[in-house]
Structure 1
């Protein structure tokens, strides 16, 4: 069926017991990415993320060789697809939090999603994700934030702390443009793979980048802003609250070129 999601756990079709656990216990972490011609841009970063998540949340890594084996099996016969690689353990739950060991691996394979948008209007929300350095499965706050933004007439939410310092968005990282320099916000947040790939490619696009605190009161000083994630290498920000941006389409093209300059790494 077109658009169907195929779920496997440790290389075999997911069972009802597997799905029951992940439906009822939101303890785990994941990474997700587009597969092109049997490879992934930034695969090294995704694998490093999974290794760190496994150790921190479960106590033991899955191992790169095993992860690659499971991913290759999931993409077999597909020219392009989207993979979500999740880590969980049926041994861990609200009453049984103490188990330590190698987590199980759930892989969801589906058709590649389209980019989030071509341009977005962002609502500023005071919010910070729990354990923001992890791409964990506790997504209630993110979905609620995005929903609230849309109900208020915006497209999405940009998170700030109580002092108005910018961190990240609901599904993405943000970057700010000052001439030929990209400023990435310095704050507790998820280090996005797409963000890292754009940053890696900035030099080839004639740009530079740095990390620095960004406050909502500083927004008028920037020439533009953009968001990025694995499905959306660069998308212009039209406004943040009442602050509008004339983000140049040519700059967005340069940012997408920076992302695309990273090679597809074979699984």
Structure 2
């Protein structure tokens, strides 16, 4: 765990526990490369301007990630968290000097197991920002898992589908990919799929009543790629589908950018 390229101290990281104001991105690193690295860096720069009113030197971010990865040969998930350790609950309005925290954990490369989702009515604060405020999402995920599900699907109060706790959700209908049209976090894997499939993707306002008309469903996340969905409560789908295989192949074929 390194902060601006140096081993982080407890004093420096405690702001994440006590104040928890910041943003992050997580990326799968294999052989020193990341699919969609430029998109991850762009996200970090945009979110820094939104949360801190400060520009972020993305080339310095790459240097910090490279430093943290030195000597690591296996596939890992690198999380880059941007926050200011000097800000606390009473000084949150002060000018910020965001720092870059890089943490690394192992990454499983087996095809992810299909998920079964529970439904919850919830809308994340600042849904377009990948911020560190994960309490509610983790609360609903915990409830879902305690009830025997794998994760949670969020719907707005008006019933429109948005996203999974820390993933995007997509559907397959008549050979096309359909994303919900709503306020959600546009994931990197989701963006790469759209770049690959072009006119074969679309967004629509979707409700739970639309689920039975879908041929298959999947979740996307930078750490796990594309995961088949087995069900959303009472609606089930096959976890093997021609378009799912095409999506996985297209994602795996995306060229990695060197960190």
Normalization by structure 2: what TM-score? 0.94
Identify the match of residue 18 of structure 1 among 12, 15, 22: 12
Cα deviations by residue, 1:84-111 (Å, 9 ceiling, x for unpaired): 0001112322211212243011000222
Give the alignment of 1:73-84 within 5 angstroms.
73-79=67-73, 80-84=75-79
Q: In 2 relative to 1, CA 208–226 (structure 1 residues): closer, same or farther, beyond 3 Å?
A: same
In the aligned structure 1, how far is the partner of 2:249 from the partner of 2:80? 26
RMSD of aligned Cα (Å): 1.6
Deviations 1:48-69 (A, max 9, x none): 0100111111111221221111
Rounded Cα–Cα distance in structure 1 between residues aligned with 2:96 and 2:16: 17
Q: Count residues in correspondence.
A: 258
1:59 paired residue among 50, 53, 59: 53
- Paired position in structure 2 for 1:110: 105
Structure 1 moving runs of 4+ over 6 Å: none
Counterpart secondary structure, 1:201:
helix
How far off is 1:114 after superposition? 5.4
SS state of the match for residue 123, structure 2? Answer: coil
- For 2:206, the equivalent position in structure 1 comes to 214
Q: TM-score, normalised by structure 1?
A: 0.92
Q: Which runs of 5 or more structure 2 residues have no equivalent in the other structure?
A: none
Structure 1 counterpart of 2:175 = 180
Q: Distance in 1 between matches of 2:142 and 2:235?
A: 21
Instruction: Find the partner of 2:42 among 20, 38, 48.
Output: 48
> Where does the alignment leave 5 or more consecutive residues of structure 1 unmatched?
1-6
Q: Secondary structure at the match of 2:103?
A: strand
C-alpha displacement at 1:247, in angstroms? Answer: 4.0
Q: Is the 8 A contact 1:61 1:103 kept in 2?
A: no
